Structure 1
Amino acid sequence: MTLRVGILGFSEGNGHPFSFSAIVNGYDDTAFARVGWDGIHAYLRARKADEFGVGDVRITQCWMPDLKMAQALAAACRIDTICQAPEEMIGAVDAVMILRDDADSHWSLAEPFLKAGLPVFIDKPLCVRRDELDLFEPYLRSGQLMSCSGLRYAGETDGWRRAPDQFGELRLIRASVPIDWPRYGIHMLECAMGALGVRPVAVQRHAVAHGSVAVRLEDHSLLLIDALGATPTPFSLQVFGALGNAEVQIRDNFTAFRRTIINFVELVRTGKPVIAPEDTLLVIRTLIAGVEAEPGGAEVLVRP
């Protein structure tokens, strides 16, 4: 039986409704060429036909505040139904994915679906306020809600995930991303925690022109994340340990996103968290500590 998923978007600069939908449903090449997401279109065209699709999952409904954009998404990604309001999906889908990274919209969009008992995936960052995290927490713990950066599942870090002790005692993890700490710093928090199992305990912001955040880790090593604004910055991660060092640049969004979808489908089918709730809570509490920290100021502890 088809597992029906609804997609909610869109936020400025975030093409995830298009990429995630295409990975599941496939895409119409001509229609996709018209939507303006040339980078996404290029990496979709580079994949083989048998890499598309996730079992019997189908994106069947979509909603966006801009009807023309919703129509473009539906045409490009072969989605049957465009909803006039998000709540129209209740009763018509088995799960929803909220694919926009403006965290302030997440609770209001998710609440009707969570209260209706539907499984929900929310794009990063889940939230940047403690009061909203308190609202989301019961749903994370119950296995109804999943939220993460796709880079938690980045293929480029598979070797680290399989042998996290290969570096010996960690000394430094250094990362760069474009844009800002709340929306993009989370990529490297999630990537480092997912691949290396590190645990943040405190955050300090540097008094520099870009978003530079030092995350003190439980093992007394340091995770340094530089969010360099609207620049052509690679998603880069370097690890330095007592036994060696390594660097990756994360470019394969397709694999990371497809794995994210597969894991969400597992949650939908089992009703159990696929990421330990404490891990997601730790990611978001670290993110919030970085938002609360004053540039050049004292450390902010990562706390409930």
Structure 2
Amino acid sequence: MVEIGIVGLDTSHAESYAMAIRNHPETSIAGVWDGGAVRDRAYARAYSERNGATLYDEPLEMADDVDAVMILTVDWTTHRDLAVPFLRDAVPTAIDKPIAGSLEDVRAIKSAADDTTLFGGSAVPYHPSLRSVRVAGNGRLFYGAGYGDPFYYGCHVVDAIRVLVGHRWASVSPADSPGRSVDVIFVDGSHATVRLDGASDRETFTFVGVGDETVVREVGTSDGDLEAMYRGYLNAFLEAVAGTRDATDERMLDAATLLLGANAALETGRTITPTSDSLAAYDVDGRAFLEDYQPYY
């Protein structure tokens, strides 16, 4: 049995992943911590009781009592401070999206991981309709459209595009397209156009891949879609914990820097590369997002 610690109850993900963990035959929730940024102490106590877990006063107190942790705070500027101590203590760690609001934080998280399992990002790439997609051929072209906040929700479409392409990004530029859209070139020569702020009325992510054949996929947010995504995400994390998957998810870290680069490109109007000074200086304040945040439930 893999005993998991939940760090942060701000979002609906705490309930969603708890359900996935309860429904999995080899996992349970052993520890819970919440900083009170969104939920009150009564909610945290009720959550821990429902899941048969110990409620801790400090996050790292659970390190010796769990096999892995999931960092689920909504304020991404807290992710580094919460994740790094667990990683340094060799506790496998999954970090919810967005991973971080600055390149410095991404690098610090990666450095702390060393040989410890590091996982995370959006659950959208783990939707069944995307997991089997393979776009082959030369001169591949991809398109992705998300909805909502271009950083907090933009992570979903950026992570999925990065998985579909399967290669590191080389540059990202503002696109001559409607909305907050960027053009991305990847190291293998693949191209992608990503719209971060598509229409919110359908709450659907749309992806197109053009290679030897054209593939179109839509990922919705029905209860069934969400359950399938979270189950796939949890299974992939468990594979990493078990050592049957790469310990450090380089794809996740590359997608995290691409999300930063895409938003930096839109803000500055410039082409951004992984080594750009503009990317190194760019920072997205999660505390400002937290001030207006309301969980779905």
Q: What TM-score, normalized by structure 2, do the two folds share?
A: 0.78
Partner of 2:252: 280
1:149-188: per-residue Cα shift (whole Å, max 9, x none)? 112222112341xx432xx445542222222222222212
CA RMSD of aligned residues (A): 2.7
Name structure 2 gaps, 5 residues minimum: 277-297
Q: 1:245 to 1:109 in 2, by over 3 A?
A: closer
Amino acid across the alignment from 2:262:
G
Q: After alignment, is 279-288 or 140-149 more displaced?
A: 140-149
Partner of 1:180: 149
1:20-49: per-residue Cα shift (whole Å, max 9, x none)? 011111xxxxxxxxxxxxxxxxxxxxxxxx
Count of matched residue positions in the alignment of Structure 1 and Structure 2: 268
Q: Distance in 2 between matches of 1:94 and 1:125?
A: 23
Q: 1:149 to 1:275 in 2, by over 3 A?
A: farther
Match of 2:78 among 105, 117, 132: 105
Match of 1:22 among 7, 19, 22: 19
Q: 1:222 to 1:192 in 2, by over 3 A?
A: closer
Q: Secondary structure at the match of 2:153?
A: helix
Q: Distance in 1 between matches of 2:48 and 2:146?
A: 30
- Say whether residues 1:138 and 2:135 are aligned partners: no
Match of 2:28 among 52, 55, 58: 58
1:120-159: per-residue Cα shift (whole Å, max 9, x none)? 1111121121111221112445243212211222211234
Q: After alignment, is 290-299 or 251-260 more displaced?
A: 290-299
Partner of 1:30: none
- Say whether residues 1:94 and 2:67 are aligned partners: yes
Partner of 1:237: 207
Q: After alignment, is 186-195 or 135-144 more displaced?
A: 135-144
Tell me if structure 1 keeps the 8 A contact 2:33–2:59. Answer: yes
Tell me if structure 2 keeps the 8 A contact 1:156–1:250. Answer: no
Q: Distance in 2 between matches of 1:71 and 1:262?
A: 27
Q: Distance in 2 between matches of 1:201 and 1:123?
A: 24
Q: After alignment, is 141-150 or 237-246 more displaced?
A: 237-246
Name structure 1 gaps, 5 residues minimum: 26-51
Tell me if structure 2 keeps the 8 A contact 1:143–1:273. Answer: no
Partner of 2:286: none
Match of 1:299 among 245, 249, 271: 271
Q: Distance in 1 between matches of 2:248 and 2:227?
A: 20
Match of 2:48 among 68, 71, 74: 74
Q: Distance in 2 between matches of 1:196 and 1:4?
A: 33
Q: CA deviation at 1:89?
A: 0.9
Tell me if structure 2 keeps the 8 A contact 1:126–1:147. Answer: yes
Partner of 1:225: 195
Partner of 1:10: 9
Q: 1:19 to 1:198 in 2, by over 3 A?
A: same
- Say whether residues 1:127 and 2:100 are aligned partners: yes
Partner of 2:288: none
Tell me if structure 2 keeps the 8 A contact 1:110–1:120. Answer: yes
Amino acid across the alignment from 2:271:
E
Aligned-residue sequence identity (percent) comes to 22
Match of 2:171 among 196, 202, 210: 202
Q: Distance in 1 between matches of 2:112 and 2:244?
A: 11
Q: Distance in 2 between matches of 1:294 and 1:164?
A: 27
Q: 1:220 to 1:156 in 2, by over 3 A?
A: closer
Amino acid across the alignment from 2:95:
I
Q: Distance in 1 between matches of 2:45 and 2:30?
A: 13
Q: CA deviation at 1:234?
A: 1.3
Q: Distance in 2 between matches of 1:201 and 1:109?
A: 30
Q: What TM-score, normalized by structure 1, do the two folds share?
A: 0.77
